[in-house]
Amino acid sequence: MDYDTWAEEEVPPPLTDDDAPLDEPEEEVYPWELTDVERRIYEAGFMAGYASRDAEVAQLNHEADRLYDKAFNQPGRTRR
């Protein structure tokens, strides 16, 4: 038995356009390929997504600092 090769059932099937709805759109879109209008839409979506996650990241950082302070009785990092 050859242990250095893939088992036949482990080999993924070839990609087709049938699975296109499952593909990640950003994998095939590069900003330099966009028209001016598409680029503005792309940038607006990026900035809106970034802003929507920024508050969540700040809250998680605060929670991490709080837990570190509680666990070790000292500040985890320099506070601004």
Q: What is the pLDDT of residue 52?
A: 87
pLDDT of the chain along its 80 residues, tens only? 455 665 556 666 666 666 566 666 666 666 677 888 888 888 898 888 888 899 899 999 999 999 999 898 877 666 55
Domain ranges of the chain: 25-80
Q: What is the pLDDT of residue 8?
A: 59
Question: Which pair of structure tokens corresponds to residue 23?
Answer: 């593909």
DSSP the chain: --TTS--GGGSPPPP-GGGGGGS-GGGS--GGGS-HHHHHHHHHHHHHHHHHHHHHHHHHHHHHHHHHHHHHSS-SS---
Ramachandran class of 73: left when φ > 0, alpha when ψ lies in -120 to 50, beta otherwise: left
| pTM of the predicted model over 0.85 | no
> How far, in Å, CA of 18 to CA of 41, rounded?
27
